[in-house]
């Protein structure tokens, strides 16, 4: 994953992300979550927050029951709360709902969900006070990251336990990691940052915890990671095709025009461009090449990668709509009505999180099959068994494929959907839940697995291309091979292989592979959707 639970984020002092009545973008989410970008609430948003807070203030002393203002929560919604206990109701809500357990989730996940919750607060639909919204922004800007345990959310009524852990810190309770990554009490961290703990008023507890922010944040960061890894996968696949003396003719545009799947066309074009000008490909092209067609794991790669690209495209549409949402229950409508709703149900987000995990497993699976072919002397067209330097004495990359296979097996298990499950809760009041948080946690692990699988393929293909000398690879695949050689030596007697795999994983995590080929190949186009336009429908 991209961030350990206690990682210290860099402080990004560029222009802060403006949070207002309109939605934040996916790129802004990534900047705040991963780069430490600061945030600022737009004045217009503060005006709207104040306007709708006046509605809640008017209802606070009302004898007519209003959910979450003068009633209990969930199955206790019929329980009337006296006026003198309604502020205490909110702090009790946060303490009781901060019931998570397990290993703390990553800093970037917490910062992402905090930004998304702040974005909803800034719409003015939640009834929170301006001062509370500003305090929430202050927590983000101070680099204070509440400790959010992994287990607790069912993905319905929002990511309740994770968001409650954040809200608890806002009130000066619970544990946090401060800006240096040190684990301290929230009270200590707030005082050190010059922040005052918030005493929650009517409705504010609900406003802070009723959203799909955790699962949405994981979706947005997953989309950023998967999009880049699919670009890498096209190139790693091209390296394998080249190393296996495969043909590039199957990636011709006119063939893929016969099946106008958008993602497939993009991957085919990228693979063709990656193989262009390859002396290795040219060495076996023409009538003297007696092989009619390559194996599926080479020939059908654009179909598999393209399907994943189209899945990303669909998931990005859903994410954009969710970014444009104001999720709370109840909500304060623009005309002043306070209405209950079910918009907090995470089904739309959970479904695409699961869909992405399926595509990640498929892309990793076909990559492992290509690696296996390069190691099998019966199928590799002249490469030494397992790419060993001294066959018999050395094992080469034999066990690197085992590592790939083990990861792929895990990815298949992670591809089992969470969103088809549901466990009733709250005395059957909340009798159908999305488990979207679980789908998000699965996807993060799956993305990490895909990165490692592609790293093994790249490491293996680079070694195989070296064995094809004196023939040289294409400019694109050669650039990747040369990059690998900056962190891993070329073919030789067996070495400790684990650190070499990790070194290539690190290249991918640092975006170095795409950086090396960008001058030659460029970036892949999207399949036609502007992923930063939340108004798209």
Task: Tell me the per-residue pLDDT of 78-87, one tens digit each, with 9 for 90 and over.
Answer: 666 666 676 7
What pLDDT shows up at residue 243? Answer: 98
Vertex 439, ends 438 and 442: CA angle to 5°? 85
Residue closest to 111 by CA, chosen among 17, 46, 196: 17
4 has pLDDT over 70: no
Provide φ and ψ at 82, rounded to 5°: -65, 155
* Phi–psi pair at 74, nearest 5 degrees: 60, -125
Q: Is 67 a catalytic residue?
A: yes
Asked whether the predicted pLDDT for residue 77 surpasses 70, the reply is no
Backbone angles phi, psi at 101, to 5 degrees: -145, 155
pLDDT at 10 over 70: no
What percent of the chain has pLDDT above 90?
76
**pLDDT > 70 in the chain, percent:** 90
Closest Cα to residue 23, out of 324, 326, 322, 328?
A: 324
Q: Measured in whole angstroms, how far is the alpha carbon of residue 72 from the centre of its chain?
A: 35
Tens-place pLDDT, residues 108-149: 999 999 999 999 999 999 999 999 999 999 999 999 999 999
**Residue 532 confidence class, pLDDT cut points 50, 70, 90:** very low
Q: 42's torsion region: left (phi>0), alpha (psi -120 to 50) or beta?
A: beta
pLDDT band at 406 (very low <50, low <70, confident <90, very high): very high
pLDDT tens track for 499-531 = 999 999 999 999 999 999 998 887 776 654 444
CA distance 418 to 416: 7
Q: How far apart are CA 198 and CA 169, in angstroms?
A: 9
| Torsion-angle region of 242 (φ positive above 0: left; ψ -120 to 50: alpha; else: beta) | alpha
Peptide bond into 470 cis (omega under 30): yes
Is residue 429 scored above 90 in pLDDT? no
Q: Between vectors from CA 391 to CA 389 and to CA 393, what angle results, nearest 5°?
A: 90
Q: Residue 175: is it exposed, middle or buried by C-beta count within 10 angstroms (0-12/13-18/19+)?
A: middle
Do residues 323 and 23 lie in contact, with contact meaning Cβ atoms separated by under 8 Å? yes
pLDDT at residue number 5 = 63
Q: Pick from 483, 474, 521: which is nearest to 248 by CA?
A: 474
pLDDT, tens digit (0-9, with 9 covering 90-100), for 20-54: 988 999 999 999 999 999 999 999 999 999 999 99
Considering 67, 151, 296, 402, which one is annotated as catalytic?
A: 67
Pair 362, 308: CB distance under 8 Å: yes
Q: Looking at residue 397, what DSSP letter applies?
A: T
Query: What's the pLDDT band for 14 if we cut at 50, 70, 90?
Result: confident
Predicted TM-score of the model (pTM): 0.92
* Average pLDDT score, the chain: 91
Residue with tokens 């789908």: 439
What is the β-pairing status of strands 37-41 and 145-146? unpaired
Q: How far apart are alpha carbons 66 and 426 in whole angstroms? A: 19
* 317-362 residue pLDDT tens: 999 999 999 888 888 898 988 888 888 898 999 999 999 999 999 9
Start-to-end Cα distance in the chain: 31
What domains sit in the chain, N to C, each tagged with a CATH number? Answer: 12-211 (1.10.275.10), 222-521 (1.20.200.10)
Q: Is the pLDDT of residue 2 over 60?
A: no
């Amino acid at each position: 994953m991209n961030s350990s639970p206690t990682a210290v984020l860099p402080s990004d002092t560029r222009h802060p992300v403006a949070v207002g009545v309109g939605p934040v973008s996916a790129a802004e989410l990534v900047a705040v979550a991963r780069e430490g970008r600061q945030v600022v609430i737009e004045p217009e948003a503060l005006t709207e927050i104040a306007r709708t807070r006046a509605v809640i203030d008017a209802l606070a002393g009302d004898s007519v029951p209003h959910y979450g203002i003068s009633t209990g929560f969930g199955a206790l919604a019929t329980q009337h709360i006296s006026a003198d206990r309604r502020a205490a109701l909110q702090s009790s809500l946060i303490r009781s709902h901060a019931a998570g357990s397990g290993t703390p989730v990553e800093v970037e996940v917490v910062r992402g969900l905090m930004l998304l919750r702040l974005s909803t607060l800034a719409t003015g639909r939640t009834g929170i006070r301006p001062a509370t919204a500003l305090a929430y922004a202050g927590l983000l800007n101070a680099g204070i990251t509440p400790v959010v345990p992994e287990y607790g959310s069912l993905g319905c009524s929002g990511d309740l336990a994770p968001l409650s852990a954040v809200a608890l810190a806002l009130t000066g309770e619970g544990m946090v990691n401060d800006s240096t990554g040190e684990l301290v009490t929230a009270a200590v961290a707030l005082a050190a940052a010059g922040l005052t703990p918030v005493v929650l008023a009517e409705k504010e507890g609900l406003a802070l915890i009723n959203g799909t922010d955790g699962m949405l944040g994981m979706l947005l960061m997953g989309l950023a990671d998967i999009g880049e890894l699919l670009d890498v996968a096209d190139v790693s696949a091209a390296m394998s095709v080249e190393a296996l003396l495969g043909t590039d003719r199957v990636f011709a545009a006119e063939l893929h025009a016969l099946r106008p799947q958008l993602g497939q066309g993009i991957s085919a074009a990228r693979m063709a461009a990656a193989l262009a000008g390859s002396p290795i490909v040219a060495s076996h092209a023409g009538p003297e090449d007696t092989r009619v067609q390559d194996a599926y794991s080479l020939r059908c790669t654009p179909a598999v990668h393209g399907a994943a690209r189209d899945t990303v495209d669909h998931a990005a549409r859903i994410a954009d709509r969710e970014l444009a949402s104001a999720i709370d229950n109840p909500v304060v409508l623009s005309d002043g009505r306070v209405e209950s709703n079910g918009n907090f149900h995470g089904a739309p987000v959970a479904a695409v999180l699961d869909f992405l995990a399926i595509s990640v497993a498929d892309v990793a699976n076909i990559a492992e099959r290509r690696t296996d072919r390069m190691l099998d002397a019966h199928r590799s067209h002249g490469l030494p068994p397992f790419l060993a330097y001294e066959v018999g004495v050395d094992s080469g990359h034999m066990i690197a494929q085992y590592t790939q296979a083990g990861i792929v097996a895990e990815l298949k298990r992670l591809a089992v959907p969470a969103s088809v499950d549901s466990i009733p809760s709250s005395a059957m009041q909340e009798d159908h839940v999305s488990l979207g948080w679980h789908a998000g946690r699965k996807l993060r692990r799956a993305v990490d697995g895909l990165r490692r699988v592609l790293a093994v393929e790249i490491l293996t293909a680079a070694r195989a291309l070296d064995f094809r000398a004196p023939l040289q690879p294409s400019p694109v695949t050669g650039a990747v091979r040369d990059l690998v050689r900056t962190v891993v030596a070329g073919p030789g007697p067996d070495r400790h292989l684990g650190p070499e795999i990790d070194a290539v994983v690190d290249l991918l995590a640092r975006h170095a592979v795409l950086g090396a080929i960008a001058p030659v190949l460029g970036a892949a186009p999207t399949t036609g959707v502007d992923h930063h336009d939340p108004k798209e429908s």
